[in-house]
Structures are given as C-alpha cells and as structure tokens.
Amino acid sequence: MRRRQLLKSLPFCVSLYSSVTYAQNRSNNIDDIEQLFNIAAAKHKRELRDLLVTRARLPIHLDDVSAQSIARVLAVSEETTYERTYPSGTSVLFYSYEEESLQIWLVDSSGIQAYSNKNVSKQQISEFILRLRNAMNIDSLQRSRIPLQRGIIGIVPVVNDTKISLNQAVFDLTQVLVPVEIVNKLIAVKHLIIVPVLEIGTVPFAILKPFGDQTLLIDKMSISIAPSLFDIGQSLENWFFEDLSQSPLIVGDPYLPESMNWSVPPLPGAEQEARAVAEMMNATPLLGREATKTEVVSKAEKASLLYFATHGVASSRDPLSGGFLMLSAARFEQGWWTTREIQNTRLSAEIAVLSACQTGLGQVHDAGIIGLSRAFQIAGVPRVVMSLWSVDDQATSQLMQAFAKHLEAPNSLETTIPSEALRQAMLEVRQYYPEPSKWASFVIFGTPR
C-alpha cells in the first residue's frame, strides 16, 4: 500500500501585523518574498481546516509547510529513492488572496523562482472567469446536456455582459493569473501543480496563453490542480498501469428511471466509452441497469481504479447533499451517490475518472472548492480526473479513451504520469475538435504522480 506522508517543518511564528507590513511594503527581497509565502501558507492552513472540518465535518490533521520544504520535496530525485516522487521539471504555482491583493508564487526544486502581487478584487476575478466561459459559449451549450430540476433555475451562471472574443477573454485572464513576473520563469516547467484560491480552480488553465504568442499552456506542460499545499508533500509509491488494471470499476450510462422532478438528457456515447476503456483494462464494465448504486458502492472500496461515464451534478449551495453522481436504482433519487456519502467511504483506488458533467464544481471557499472531486480525495483517492463544465458527449468519449491509451503506454515513463497522459490526450483530441469547449474541460485534481 502506498504511504502518504505529509511535510513537516518548523511552526510559523509570524504575527498578523507582520503580514500586513510585508504586504504594504511588497518588497522584492527574496527573504521577504519567502516570508510572505510562509505567511500565506499559514493562512491557507487555517482556511483549509475550516473547509474540511466545518463543511465536511471530518477530523483533519494538517502539518505546516514552507517554501523551503516544498522545494525539498520537489528536489527528491527518482534515482536516489526507491519511491517515485516528482518528475524533473515540476513546479508549484501557489495563489493567495489578501486585502484586495492576489499574490502568486512559482516554486521549484531550488526554491521560489518568481513572485507577483496584483491589486484585483474578488469580483473582478469572478468576472474574468465568467467572461471566458461566455466567450467559449459554455453556459448556453451545456444547458441541453446537464440534468435540471424542473421548475428550478439551473446552477449555470450567466454573464450579463457584452460577449467578447475568446482571444480577448483568454488574454485578460492570463494577465491576471499568469502575469509576466511568473512567465519569465515558467518556460522551463514541464509539470505544473496549481494550488488555487477562491474559484481559480475552475479555470481551464490549459487554454491560457502566457508566452506572448498563440502557444497554449498545455502545449508546454502538464497541469494538475492540487487541493492544497499540504498535498504536495505526499510521498507516493511507485505504481504502473498494471496496478490500475488489477480491479478496476468502470461504470457507463446507468439506467435512470423517469422522474417527475428532473429532466435528464441522454448520454449516447457513455456506454461506448465505458466499453472501450474496460476493453483496454481487460475488465467487465457495469452498464445500464447493472450500474446500480448498491452494486457500485459495494465494489468501490476495493477497486484499483474508479471510472464513471455518467451524469454528475454540482451544487454551490449544498455541496455535500446537493452534489452527486447519478447511478441506477428503482427510484430516481435512490441512485444518487452524494458528495457526503463518497467522502465518508474508504477508497483505495489510485485514480478516479469522473467523465461526467461539472464534477470539478461545487461551493467556492477561500481555500478552494468543496465538491465531488475533493470528496473522492477525502475518501482516499490521490488523483481525480474532473470536469469544469458539461462537455460534448462524443468529444469526451474520444478524450477519455485517448487518456486511457496514453496512461497505458509502456514505452514512455513520462506518459504514465496521469497529468501528462491527460495532456497528450488533449493535444490529440484538439486536432479533431479545435474548440476549447470540447477538449479543455478536464483536469487532474491532485498531483502529477
């Protein structure tokens, strides 16, 4: 079994007054920048504890982290340890928000490489994100794809704004989230771990263009969204595709009974997708009426891989009970596997693939988002492939099959890294579906390994 050992470092002993003083001075001295990082990490710890304990009602122990301890973990070489840690070229992009200021640090195995401090309000950040969604036409496209409660206005946000071009929307958001101070040190990165704040974790970083030309971020590096700084210190034992194939649980297109309260569109490509992935793994999928909640939950605990090609629902108001995966049952509501139920389950899978709508969404919090993806991690799954919006059925099927193919690739160590396998799948599918709305929705929630 893998061991999950969190970082340990000296406790923080910096006062709130010191935090304000540093923020006001905005010194470029490396010691000051490192101290700012440590202060932000301490704040991140408090917010994360509130998120997991208050919202999830789970006991949680968090060790302290610092810029130096993050660098030490990234510096561990595969050649000097029996455990595979991080591949060379891995960096962490850490976001923190304090007093109308968005702070950003880029950290690699040598320490802090870049720092940015921008005056931007939470409302402005939200508007930039929503304008990008609007430019991709996501919210109008997905209305025909997501399950909706009859008589209730959907959870899809609408931007009351003049629609701008996709290029402009990408440019504007890139300037905020990947400013020039960061870009200068980002060019050499191969695997980027993003630790977001607020709703930044819902941004499709893959399509940002920070390099001054038409090159996308995904063209240069794989991208992972880590739940917190404290997940960076996990020590993960070596694993291969064969480990995932030992006892995979693959669920496709569950039968959903008619409901007077819900309108649920069909998923014509879900069964084919599940069958194709199951064939790669020499497994038998649970399809249609066989994919009952009872059967899925009974097999999930011992599964080496979890794969769901079904509908998912996110809730910003009630993420624990109002967020769920739709599985088959005698009555429609009986098939809901809720966020609360998932996070209270003990799971041993190395990865969960949620090929469903909106599995990366939920309730926004200062330390991130509480929803289905985080629930699987709380349950014990270190990596979750999640979606940021409701996606095109056929494009999703091709993307997920390509992801499984690259994850299986025996001839390249790099492509066995889930985030790199997903990157390769995106680049492949983009050739057939150039629109970012069809290929850029999915991201690894976890770390590159």
- pLDDT of 153: 47
Residues 6+ apart with CB under 8 A from 418: 351, 383, 385, 407, 444, 446, 448, 449
- pLDDT of 412: 52
Q: What is the pLDDT of residues 37-71, one digit of tens each?
A: 888 888 777 666 655 554 444 444 556 788 888 88
Q: What is the pLDDT of residues 231-244, one digit of tens each?
A: 787 655 556 666 77
Q: What is the pLDDT of residues 328-373, one digit of tens each?
A: 999 999 999 998 999 899 999 989 998 866 554 554 555 556 678 8
Residue 116's pLDDT band, with cuts at 50, 70 and 90, is: very high
Q: What is the pLDDT of residues 179-207, one digit of tens each?
A: 999 998 999 999 999 999 888 988 999 99
- pLDDT of 66: 86
pLDDT surpasses 70 at 449: no
Q: How far apart are CA 449 and CA 138, in angstroms?
A: 30
For 355-365, letters b (16+ CB in 10 Å) and e give bbbbbbbbbbb
- pLDDT of 142: 60
* CB distance 350 to 340 below 8 Å: no
pTM for the structure as a whole: 0.84
Evaluate whether the domain defined by 239-445 bears CATH number 1.10.3720.10.
Answer: no
Q: How far apart are CA 129 and CA 358, in angstroms?
A: 15
Among 8-22, 154-168, 327-341, where is mean pLDDT lowest?
8-22
pLDDT surpasses 90 at 249: yes
Residue 228's pLDDT band, with cuts at 50, 70 and 90, is: confident
